[in-house]
Amino acid sequence: MLEILIATNNLGKVKEIKDILDSPEIKIITMKDFPHLPKIEEDGKTYQENAFKKAREISEYTGKICLADDSGLEIDYLKGKPGIYSSRWGNSDEERINKVLNLLENIPINKRNAKFVCVVVLVFPDGKIYTVKEECKGSITFSPKGEYGFGYDPIFLVPGYNKTFAELGDKIKNKISHRGKAMRRMVEIIKEISV
């Protein structure tokens, strides 16, 4: 069994990752178990750079196998923004959502295409690194809908369901989301290397 430290303080992400990584091969520990960890500045220019930096630095500090993700919302009309700055586009989920909706005000539905991107990096103390990238395509709604999830979930409309991530609930969201797909691929890698 591998003990893996999830390198995030985002409680929504922790819950989502724990739900997806639920496997007998994996024991999850969180940053709450290490209250004196340094704050990692996400100053990379890509999702991969940010995820790798978080995983590597936390792994070096704790001596643990460390998993980190960096993800973001890329809106076509906004030329890929907010992208790697998704979590820093405001001080709260509500503020970030309102910023997106204001920027897309009066933009028709056919020009509101977007995708979520997630890069997951697993770093071992001995230097081994595994990386996975996944996406989930959709569009941006005209107003928030739904009560589940976190972040931009209430305004991300999923094709085929005609509902936002926040309306779908965790079980369905985790099956189809960018993070869900990336984490399942990482579980397969973990199973292969655990043999």
Distance CA 166, CA 177 (A): 12
Domain spans of the chain, in order of start: 2-194
Q: Report how far residue 16's alpha carbon sits from residue 178's, in angstroms, rounded to the nearest whole number.
A: 12
- Active site annotation includes 70: yes
Q: Could you report the per-residue pLDDT of 6-50, keeping only the tens digit for each?
A: 998 888 788 888 888 887 878 899 999 888 888 898 899 999 999
What is the pTM (predicted TM-score) of this model? 0.91
Q: What is the mean pLDDT of residues 54-60?
A: 96
Mean pLDDT (whole number) for 160-185 = 94
Helix (H/G/I), strand (E/B), else coil: 10 = coil
Instruction: Give me the catalytic one of 22, 69, 70, 93.
Output: 70
Q: Categorize the per-residue pLDDT at 181 as very low, low, confident or very high, splitting at 50, 70 and 90.
A: very high
Q: For a pLDDT cut of 90, what percent of the chain falls above it?
A: 75
Counting beta carbons within 10 angstroms of the beta carbon of residue 45, is it exposed (0 to 12), middle (13 to 18) or buried (19 or more)? exposed
For 2-194, give the CATH class.
alpha beta
pLDDT value at position 22? 80
